[in-house]
Amino acid sequence: MTKDSPVADRLLAWYDRHRRDLPWRSPPGERADPYRVWLSEIMLQQTTVPAAAPYFRAFVERWPRVEDLAAADTDAVMAAWAGLGYYARARNLLKCARAVAAEHGGRFPDTESALLDLPGVGAYTAAAIAAIAFGRPATVVDGNVERVVARLFAVEEPLPGAKATLRRLAATLTPPQRPGDYAQAMMDLGSGVCTPRKPRCMLCPLAAGCAARAAGIAEGLPRKAPKADKPTRRGTAYWLLNPEGAVLLRRRAESGLLGGMAEIPSTGWDGGTAPQATGWRCLPGAVRHTFSHFHLELEVMAARTGADWRAADGFWVPLDRLGEQALPSVMRKVVRHALAHA
Ligand code: SF4
């Protein structure tokens, strides 16, 4: 292997020595299970490898095959997903598992275009499954790959405008041999060597042909167009206890933010109505949470109901069983805040 070997050859030789051992990866030389590739890629869309790994292990232990996940109870899957965020993905995860079970006999389709037809499977995930599980020479492009390619070719046009250029350049590097290993090698290089800040060019197998390194501009690439500031929304959450010490929860609408998840009833930031109880008092402080498009600040009101109070909407959950509910992270913060101050 020389510095003039194709990028893919150098990268694959490096990968054979330095590949990360990840719970969803197959042993060297073995084709990966499409179910595991798909599940890991959906989880990794919103979190880091260390955060996703325990969720991945728990899912495959509980639902070892896609048919097992397809047959799972929706609430159980939502509860197992709780904490990973972006709950629309958990709902799509189930839809996709059910589509694979019902329409494809429990086997993932093996081409990028057929994979793209599955619920919740976008271009990145389809390419990753096609390459890693089926050995198709699909070009897998995520933020890591964009960064590596922008540096290799010293692309100075800022993102997101540069996306099409970076995709085209990435496709020129994808090899016909071992495309799955190549895709994973790119992921490993982007996460461990060609990192956003302080790329470790001294350790990089591609350093000899890297235009950004030669020009001394690697750390500043890829450039990014300035982002608009996130707005802050404000609302109120209602912590209502009954005489048995159970708290009122409500199920959010299936569509929209946190769709289908349980919540402490809340108003003002995303629809919702307040429970018609009396004697509310405002707890000190506030709960803050950041979603992808806005910051949220919730004040928390607390009250207790009489024995004959009936909720128009919602269900009671004993405090010691709250952990079993599919509560999104923002609502877990509300629970902690209420328990600390009510
Ligand atoms: Fe990234 Fe440096 Fe390698 Fe270029 S040489 S690909 S900048 S780590």
pLDDT per residue as tens digits for the range 150-160: 999 999 999 99
C-beta 201 within 6 A of ligand 1 = yes
| Atom 7 of ligand 1, nearest CA residue | 218
Which positions are annotated as active-site residues? 41
- The mean pLDDT value of the chain amounts to 92
Euclidean distance between CA atoms 244 and 129, whole angstroms? 50
The torsion defined by the Cα of 311, 317, 318 and 322, in degrees rounded to 10, comes to -140
275 versus 170: the higher-pLDDT residue is: 170
Over range 22-26, report the average pLDDT: 93
Residue 4 pLDDT exceeds 70: no
Beta carbons within 10 angstroms of residue 245's beta carbon:
11
Q: What are the pLDDT digits (tens) for 60-81?
A: 999 999 999 999 999 899 989 9
Tokens representing residue 257 in the block: 């933010």
pLDDT attached to residue 3: 53
In CATH terms, the fold of domain 232-341 is: Nucleoside Triphosphate Pyrophosphohydrolase (3.90.79)
The number of the ligand 1 atom at minimal distance from the alpha carbon of 204 is: 3
Q: Residue 259: which pLDDT band, with cuts at 50, 70 and 90?
A: confident
Please give the distance, rounded to the nearest whole angstrom, from the Cα atom of residue 214 to the centre of ligand 1.
10
Number of Cβ within 10 Å of residue 89's Cβ equals 16
Distances (CA, A) of 134 to 24, 87, 103, 137, 303: 15, 28, 19, 9, 56
Cα atoms found within 13 Å of the Cα of residue 122, Cβ hemisphere only: 7
CATH for 7-220, options being 3.20.20.70, 1.10.340.30, 1.20.1440.230, 3.40.50.920:
1.10.340.30
Q: Counting atoms of ligand 1 from 1, which one is nearest the CA of 148?
A: 6
Residue to probe by mutation, ligand 1, list 201, 217, 219, 221, most atoms within 8 Å of CB? 201
Ligand 1 within 6 A of CB of 217: no
Q: What is the pLDDT of residues 198-246, one digit of tens each?
A: 999 999 999 999 999 999 999 999 999 887 788 999 999 999 999 999 9
Instruction: Name the token pair of 277.
Output: 């109880």
Greatest mean pLDDT among 1-10, 43-52, 297-306 lies in 297-306
Confidence (pTM): 0.73
Instruction: Locate 1 and state its tokens.
Output: 């292997």
- Residues 6+ away with beta carbon under 8 Å from 27: none
CA of 284 to the centre of ligand 1 (A): 50
- Which pLDDT tens digit goes with each residue over 282-341? 999 999 999 888 999 999 999 999 888 887 789 999 999 998 888 899 999 999 999 998
Residue 86 has pLDDT above 80, yes or no: no
Is the beta carbon of 148 within 6 A of some atom in ligand 1?
yes
Ligand 1 pocket member 96 (CB < 6 A): no
Domain assignments of the chain as residue spans, ordered by start: 7-220, 232-341
Cα of 212 vs centre of ligand 1, distance in Å, is: 7
